[in-house]
């Protein structure tokens, strides 16, 4: 299908999805369980693929650099009220940015205290952080330990593989600084805070070498992320009608990981696919049909969708909210609802595919096209299909010939 050419963004699901009719048919929204809180809107790196700063949406320029304590406290009250009203038993709270560690240890300590005192009495609170790791020094580590903040770090492989894209503003590579932070995080007494690593796939890097370099950093789990792109702005190397180059890259890692004599680390994407193939209710934002229950809170306190949507078009993350608690009203907006209705949000091409219950059309961000909005297969459709087929074949072989 030719989805690349169109003069302006399409709006689907806005103006097309009938939320009232869904409710009449028995659907009801699932409350938010995870909150990505943007405590800082700037970054100390200048990664050339960053969805925040290098995308069509440049709204970061008008955001406050740092979330004020008043805005943070208000956001925590809204989260607590939302959890109480909807009886959410456990709240995931992620310090995010930009680069969240730019707030410094003292402000981070204050923010974590406010979150604990406000949300803690209402629901079990799990605090986490996504960081580039450069500023993860002793003071930050002790602050995270004091509040039980688990930390995930972005790293794209070893040395030059990482530094190809993840650089400082002066062009210098960030790898050594990142690894210093990871080494502190992965060692005692902070090892229990180590949540894992995020690695954005670069086809120029050898997949097995990339995997082994990450294993060397002793992560409990690794997330391999497909570069953000869509039908209008395809990701690097993803050519319409071309070979499934991203599947080929990931399959080499899967074979190395799966055939290892012992588990070296968990790999979320592989585990999610295997779990769903075996009948488990395992899905993430990247795969599967499970409801997405994530809200983003910007530094000005506004509620948005997941921020990777900034790669689609300017304003793609925005939702219109009203009332005393914007989190509650956001649950009825088409942009949020469409992420919670499973197969009803898929196009006919996906529904006709035998892998759609596992794939789920992939990451919502990767479905966008000017012509049809988000009612499309993933731009990574061939890759997802081939990866799922490969893992399916491996599991079928093992189940047919048990050791």
Tell me, yes or no, whether 385 lies in a domain.
yes
Of the candidates 142, 98, 130, 254, the one whose C-alpha atom is nearest the C-alpha of residue 197 is 130
Give the count of alpha carbons within 13 A of 82, CB side only. Answer: 28
- Note the helical H segments in 231-364: 245-258, 268-277, 326-330, 334-337, 348-351, 356-359
Tell me, yes or no, whether 1 lies in a domain.
no
Mean pLDDT check: name the lowest of 231-235, 284-288, 335-339, 377-381.
284-288
By CB neighbour count within 10 A (0-12 exposed, 13-18 middle, 19+ buried), where does 70 fall?
A: exposed
52 CB-near residues (< 8 Å, 6+ apart): 43, 60, 97, 98, 307, 310
> What pLDDT sits at residue 1?
42
Tell me, yes or no, whether 13 lies in a domain.
no
CA distance linking residue 386 with residue 380, whole number of Å:
10
CA distance linking residue 242 with residue 83, whole number of Å:
46
Query: Are β-strands 150-154 and 90-96 bridged in parallel, bridged antiparallel, or unpaired?
Result: unpaired
CA distance linking residue 255 with residue 394, whole number of Å:
9
Tell me, yes or no, whether 5 lies in a domain.
no
CA distance linking residue 23 with residue 26, whole number of Å:
5
- Cα–Cα distances in angstroms (integers) from residue 238 to residues 205, 232, 242, 334, in the given order: 16, 12, 7, 29
pTM of the predicted model over 0.85: yes
31-41 pLDDT tens trace: 999 999 999 99
Tell me, yes or no, whether 267 lies in a domain.
yes
CATH number at residue 56: 3.20.20.70
Domain that holds residue 345: 19-23+32-400
- Cα–Cα distances in angstroms (integers) from residue 354 to residues 258, 284, 381, in the given order: 24, 19, 12
108-150 pLDDT tens trace: 999 999 999 999 999 999 999 999 999 999 999 999 999 999 9
- Residue 126 near residue 62 (C-beta atoms within 8 A): no
Number of domains the chain contains: 1
Q: Which two tokens stand for residue 226?
A: 């497909």
> What pLDDT sits at residue 8?
45
Q: Which two tokens stand for residue 148?
A: 């039980």
Tell me, yes or no, whether 12 lies in a domain.
no
Tell me, yes or no, whether 123 lies in a domain.
yes
234-247 pLDDT tens trace: 999 999 899 999 99
7 falls in which pLDDT band (50, 70, 90)?
very low
């Amino acid at each position: 299908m030719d989805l690349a050419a169109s003069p302006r963004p399409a709006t689907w699901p806005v103006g097309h999805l009938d939320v009232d009719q869904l409710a009449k048919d028995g659907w009801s929204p699932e409350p938010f369980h995870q909150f990505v809180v943007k405590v800082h809107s700037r970054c100390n790196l200048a990664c050339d693929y960053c969805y925040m700063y290098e995308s069509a949406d440049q709204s970061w320029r008008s955001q406050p650099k740092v979330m004020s304590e008043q805005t943070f406290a208000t956001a925590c009250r809204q989260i607590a009220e939302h959890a109480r009203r909807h009886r959410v038993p456990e709240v995931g709270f992620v310090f995010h940015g930009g680069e969240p560690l730019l707030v410094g240890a003292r402000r981070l300590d204050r923010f974590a205290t406010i979150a604990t005192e406000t949300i803690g009495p209402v629901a079990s609170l799990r605090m986490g952080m996504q960081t580039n790791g450069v500023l993860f020094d002793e003071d930050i580590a002790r602050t995270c330990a004091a509040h039980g903040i688990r930390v995930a770090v972005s790293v794209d492989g070893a040395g030059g593989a990482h530094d190809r894209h993840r650089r400082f503003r002066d062009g210098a590579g960030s790898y050594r600084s990142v690894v210093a932070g990871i080494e502190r995080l992965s060692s005692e007494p902070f090892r229990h805070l180590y949540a894992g690593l995020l690695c954005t796939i670069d086809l120029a890097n050898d997949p097995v070498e990339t995997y082994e370099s990450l294993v060397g950093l002793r992560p409990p789990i690794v997330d391999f992320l497909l570069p953000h792109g869509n039908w209008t702005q395809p990701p690097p190397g993803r050519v319409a009608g071309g070979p499934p180059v991203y599947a080929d890259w990931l399959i080499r890692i899967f074979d190395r990981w799966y055939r290892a004599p012992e588990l070296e680390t968990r790999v979320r994407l592989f585990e999610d696919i295997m779990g769903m193939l075996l009948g488990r209710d395992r899905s993430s934002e990247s795969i599967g049909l499970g409801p997405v229950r994530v809200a983003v809170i910007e530094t000005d306190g506004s509620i948005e969708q997941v921020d990777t949507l900034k790669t689609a078009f300017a304003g793609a993350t925005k939702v219109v909210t009203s009332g005393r608690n914007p989190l509650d009203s956001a649950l009825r907006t088409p942009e949020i609802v469409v992420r919670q209705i499973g197969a009803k949000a898929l196009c006919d091409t996906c529904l006709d595919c035998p892998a759609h219950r596992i794939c789920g059309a992939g990451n919502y961000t990767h479905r966008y096209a000017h012509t049809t909005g988000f009612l499309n297969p993933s731009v990574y459709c061939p890759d997802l299909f081939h990866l799922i087929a490969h893992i399916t074949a491996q599991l079928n072989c093992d189940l047919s010939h048990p050791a």
